[in-house]
Amino acid sequence: MRLTYDDSFISLLKAAILSDVWNAELIHESLSKNCPSVNTYSLKRCLLEWEWVHEPAKDISKLKNAVSLFLLHKYKDYNLLFKVLQQALLHGPEYILMRKSPEASKFCNMVRSVRSEYHRARIFSTFKQVNNKLFCNYYFNHKIQPLLANYLSKRFPDKEVIVNNYFKQPSQELCLNAFL
> Which pairing describes strands 2-5 and 25-28: parallel, antiparallel, or unpaired?
parallel
Banded model confidence at residue 107, pLDDT cuts 50, 70, 90: very high
In a domain, 120, yes or no: no
Whether residue 65 is found in the same domain as residue 88: yes
* Domain coverage including residue 22: 2-115
For residues 6 and 72, state if they share a domain: yes
What integer pLDDT is reported at residue 100 of this predicted model? 93
Q: Which of the four pLDDT bands, split at 50, 70 and 90, describes residue 50? A: confident
pLDDT band for 180, please (50, 70, 90 cuts). Answer: very low
| pLDDT tens, position by position, 122-176 | 888 888 888 888 888 888 889 888 888 888 888 888 888 888 776 554 445 555 5
